[in-house]
Chain A
Amino acid sequence: MIGFLASIGAIFIAFLAATGRIFLFAARAIAAGIAPPYYPRLLLRQILHIGYYSLPVVGLTAVFTGMVLALQSYTGFSRFNAESAIATVVVLSVTRELGPVIAGLMVAGRVGAAMAAEIGTMRVTDQIDALTTLSTDPLRYLVLPRLVAGLITLPALVLVADIIGVFGGYLVSTYKLGFNIQSYLRSTTDHLEAMDVISGLIKAGVFGFIVALMGCYHGYNSRGGAEGVGQATTYAVVSASILILVSDYLLTAALFGK
């Protein structure tokens, strides 16, 4: 019994220790970036990687999410003769919830994994130590541009995903379910408030930061060759995905909670 409790305690302590290390890592990277040199070129490259190159995959998932959302709500709402609410349901679900979460998860898989693999390979081949010996702080050079890019790029990406997602719902509703175009568009915009979109963009910023932080942290601390890098990639994606879902709940509670 004691052994069982001890193992739970050990896991809990390890969890707290890891949380502390991750916070310290982020704090050190941010502190490193206060003074120059800055690396605008690297930041731009990361923005391109996270934002522009993720557009196809995020756009595709968004359009299908919007489409399936319209289809499913139709099935449910037609039982109560409440089909007119579909437009509102689609636009609120996409902007407040599905846009940021789905974009965050897709970017975690696409970009977080790539970050962990790239930085992890640099770690195990001594490239990170080499940066230090070449008078360049690896936290400032490698980590900070990714964190900043994640923080500012994901909201932009989510804004695009929101539009595409709502468009997906519109396509299904008007072409397949036979809604009137004008009235669908009107009920889309009528009940939409600025806060619905803004809250989604705030979430997106947090998710982008989480994805970049997990990718960088696990890559930076990877050990032991190819296997270590593979593990770092897995950890980066899994931990980012879980943290996205947990922080999504916390943010929703904080932004709209009563």
Chain B
Amino acid sequence: MSGPPPKIAVRGLFKAFGEKRVLEGVDIDCAAGESLVVIGGSGTGKSVLVKCILGLLQPDSGSIRIDGMETVGIGRSQREALMRKFGMLFQGGALFDSLRVWENVAFSLIQGRGMERGKAREIAFEKLAAVGLGAEVGQLRPAELSGGMQKRVALARAIAAQPEIIFFDEPTTGLDPIMADVINDLIVKCVREVGATAVSITHDMVSARKIADTIAMLHKGRIVWHGPAAEIDGTDNAFVDQFVHGRAEGPIQMEVRAA
């Protein structure tokens, strides 16, 4: 084999919660600098996949390699070092409501890396400006912000420590179409600026088309399609075709009825 290993390589990933099997052998690669979007219906295990890669959930079996290094079952200190490569934008923002906005953005710099507060604060305001928020917003509490602004703060927080891999969990869910487009633009811009690899999960096809280099479709715990974003409309894969066009009739519907 030649060339560098993929940034993220997932092989045979299984994860079950009690009787409920969520991931049943996921195989997927993501190259460095690539923006991968995982699509799929609600409850197909997209979030679980991302949480397994992040190490927030322990997979039952399988392999997850980051930069060629196996990460399943590594120790606490190695995990902490690995976490510094990651940034994550949570679906609900997950901003710390006891802290001010700028402290949220500077959190990983101050707490995680022990940066001096004044310097971290400067960077925080830079990042806030990068997502289009003024300095006055930095002094507010997260609860005082609208949903779209919270998402932008969460984005600023995710990119503040210059992560190598950024995960986006449903970045546009719950936003109006215009704000969703603003967020999509910001994601594309920020990911490009820091040169990061991006893994997003969404069921919003508009968002997927905008931010993806490659798209993978997760269905029943397996990747059923994986290819360049441009080919998503040309594929004859029945699952993808149904999902992209949002049709009630098709192979996925059968599963819904059976369940």
Contact = CB atoms under 8 A, between A and B. Distances in A.
Contacts of A135: 80, 83-84, 108, 111-113, 161
Interface stretch (A80-88, A125-133, A193-201, A226-234): A125-133
B121 interface: no
B84 to A, nearest CB: 5
B109 to A, nearest CB: 9
Contact of B94 (A37, A126, A137, A141): A126
A132 B84 CA distance: 10
B107 A134 contact: yes
Interface in B133-191: 157, 161
Contact of B83 (A126, A127, A132): A132
Interface string A115-145: 0000000100111011011111100010000
A129 B91 CA distance: 12
A36 to B, nearest CB: 9
A126 B107 CA distance: 15
A126 B92 contact: yes
B90 interface: yes
Given A129-B56, A141-B111, A134 B157 contact: yes
Nearest to A128: B94
A133 B87 contact: yes
Contacts of A134: 83, 107-108, 111-112, 157, 161
B94 A136 contact: no
A129 to B, nearest CB: 5
Contacts of A130: 88, 90, 94-96
Interface in B82-118: 83-84, 86-88, 90-92, 94-97, 107-108, 111-114
Given A132-B83, A135-B83, A125 B108 contact: no
A125 B113 CA distance: 24
A153 B36 CA distance: 50
B55 to A, nearest CB: 8
Interface in A105-119: none
A125 B94 CA distance: 6
B51 interface: yes
Contact of A37 (B86, B90, B95, B111): B111
Of listed A37, A122, A133, A141, residue having the most chain B CB within 10 A: A133
Contacts of B92: 125-126
B54 interface: yes
A37 B114 contact: yes
A130 B88 CA distance: 7
Nearest to A28: B76
27 contacts: A122-B96, A126-B90, A126-B92, A126-B94, A127-B94, A127-B95, A127-B96, A127-B97, A129-B88, A129-B90, A129-B94, A130-B90, A130-B95, A132-B83, A133-B86, A133-B87, A133-B88, A134-B83, A134-B111, A134-B112, A135-B80, A135-B83, A135-B113, A135-B161, A136-B107, A136-B108, A141-B111
Interface of A: 37, 122, 125-127, 129-130, 132-137, 141
Q: Which 9 A-B pairs have the closest CB atoms?
A: A135-B112, A126-B94, A134-B108, A130-B94, A133-B88, A126-B90, A136-B111, A135-B83, A127-B94
Given A133-B56, A133-B87, A135-B84, 4 more contacts: A130-B95, A133-B86, A134-B161, A136-B107
Interface of B: 51, 54-56, 80, 83-84, 86-88, 90-92, 94-97, 107-108, 111-114, 157, 161
